[in-house]
A and B are shown apart, each in its own frame.
Chain A
Amino acid sequence: MPANLQSTFDVAQFEALLASRNEPEWLTSRRHEAWQSFETAEQPDWRRTNLKGFNLADYSVAEAEVSVEFAGAEGVTILPLAEAIQSHAELVQRVLGSAVQTSRDPYSALNNALVNGGLFIHVAKDVAVEELVRIRYHVANAGTIVAPRTLIVTERHSSINVIEEISSADFDASAVVLTGVEIEVGDGGQVNFSSVQILNSNVYVLGSQQIRINRDAQAEWLNVVVGSAVQHVTLEANLSGNGSSVNWNGLLYGNGKQNLLVAPKLNHIGLNTEGQINFKTVVDDEAYAVFDGMVKIPATGQGTNSDLRENALHLSKTSRSDSIPGLEIDANEVKAGHGSTSGQIDEEQLFYLQSRGLPFAEAKRTIVLGFVGEIIDMIPDEAVRERVETIVADKV
């Protein structure tokens, strides 16, 4: 890959995108800024993400197909992002770019230059939304680069439960998804957000997600990653408000040549915040998965209660996983635990199941499905859960 990214992506595509929109000045100038940053940035030093053979010149800008399933409720606004830019300019301006930061790396910059499609969800104060909001981004064609963005803003004492599924058609050539999820949970409220990535095994995924959790608010966050060729996604939970909390679970399941990376960052910024991270990783064949975690407790984070768990299962000799659970503590009254394990299927478990009559292959399968089942069972939508189960059952 050339060191200079500018040569890899045609500025004409960017200009065409700009020309096709009638956007407010602030957004246009942000896009220009992002584009400039992309043009001048150096190739990031990602040692754990394999971008060999990846060339942006191979892709042309398109929009992901967006679908939303939600009956509607008083106090809930769900709009295409393009509309929200006009109707909810102030909110969008504040939240857009909180996760996908132009300065982070050139792909984040490109993501902000090209962001197109996507959804904006707003919940008014004191509104508790019972129904699950189902959104889905679907990549229909190979050779495309899409940049859908999900924005969720809830006002105080409101709650909502959203699942975002990213899927693709079953094409053989590759495509690129620049993802972004940017969420703000209002005081005393709750957001449950599940992101499920089931792209076909030729797609590249680069992006960021962030949840900012305000005073006494809570988030349940689920990240399920079973698809794509290469994924590099930064995840950030900011426990900004005093007394805020997050319960955060995830699964990476790679086989074939998949290279899947998540980088969850948990920032205990407020007083008396609570965060739990529990991720599971399975790798088979020649897959390589990375959990690049970081828990930060700055001096402001007195009374923090933090726990990070990561367990990896290796099903083949040629599969690999890296777990990098970082911990940075600058406050003195905190509880912070972390633990990670990695290894093959336990021989004692295998023997135990076999001794009850299960053939070797079924015993192995049972153990793997049990290992991932704890996370998959958390997917709140039955249809999505079944799609993930089918993919996982195929992998085992």
Chain B
Amino acid sequence: MSANNLVIRNLHVAVDGKEILKGINLTIEEGKIHAIMGPNGSGKSTLAYTLAGHPRYEVTEGEVWYKGQDVLDLEPNDRSKLGLFLAFQYPVAVAGVTVANFLRAALNAHRAQEGVDPKSTAIPMAEYRKVIKSRMDMLEMAPDFARRYLNEGFSGGEKKRLEILQMAMLQPSISIMDETDSGLDIDALKIVAEGVNKVKTEKPELGVLVITHYQRLLNYIKPDYVHVLMNGQIVREGGPEMALELEEKGYDFIREEVFGNAS
């Protein structure tokens, strides 16, 4: 198995002492697109946050490996530098910090090397301006967007677009997208999905984990695998056809099969 797969083994996670994830086994393969679907409260965001290293989520058992590294041992920023990216379900606003300045700081943090003067590795301003402009054009974002404060007063759709802009700038090798489609109208959904696909074309080794409730997004970002998360466990796995089946039938039939009742 490639070291460039992200491997999750028997992952148990608790929040405030309550177990939410109950033994997740999942491998996100290099260059593949995985979709996770599941009812509200099943633990999808918990999995996403845990992989990104949110301090509130306590791993009680299990392991996560990526590129030969024990991911759970790393600080959130080191996970980012390792190539992990999380597009948040609810992006956070930070007043006084412009999109442009923040993204430059993030890029420079990625370029920084231990024991090397960060000035010497920082991206030159002219180059940075070119990169951010081309990425914003790709996502059809107006130039003044870069001067606004991070998510401050952004519409739901603008926030999601900014998440994808960040992904396009940071060029991760694993991207977890937590309900990036929610809050987007049809046109925006198309632009965002195309943006993701372009990043993927530029970087074919990118592994993607798409968390969604809707088949709609999966028409644009075509999954290789679909996983169903229910009650903190992966209870089903299949190909893209499974998303269609879920859309049609809902989760009850799986719930019935797995837990023996439909409630």
Contact = CB atoms under 8 A, between A and B. Distances in A.
B73 to A, nearest CB: 15
Contacts of B54: 351, 355
A358 B54 CA distance: 14
Contact of A352 (B75, B91, B110, B149): B91
Of B79, B86, B94, the most chain A CB neighbours within 10 A belong to: B94
Nearest to A374: B96
Assign chain A's interface to a size class.
20 to 34
Nearest to B76: A354
A221 B79 CA distance: 45
Interface string A351-364: 11111111110110
Nearest to A370: B96
Contact of A355 (B52, B97, B110): B52
B102 A353 contact: yes
A98 to B, nearest CB: 35
Interface majority SS (helix, strand, loop, mixed), chain A: helix
Contacts, number: 80
A300 interface: no
B109 A359 contact: yes
Given A351-B54, A356-B170, A358-B77, A367 B94 contact: yes
Contacts of B110: 357
Contacts of A372: 96
Given A352-B94, A369-B96, 19 more contacts: A351-B92, A352-B92, A353-B102, A354-B80, A356-B106, A356-B109, A357-B77, A357-B81, A357-B110, A357-B170, A358-B105, A358-B109, A359-B77, A359-B109, A360-B75, A363-B77, A366-B105, A370-B94, A370-B95
Interface of B: 52-56, 75-77, 79-81, 86, 88, 91-97, 102, 105-107, 109-110, 149, 166, 170
22 contacts: A349-B94, A353-B102, A354-B75, A354-B77, A355-B52, A355-B77, A356-B102, A356-B170, A357-B109, A358-B105, A359-B75, A362-B109, A366-B97, A367-B97, A370-B95, A370-B96, A370-B97, A370-B149, A371-B96, A372-B96, A373-B97, A374-B96
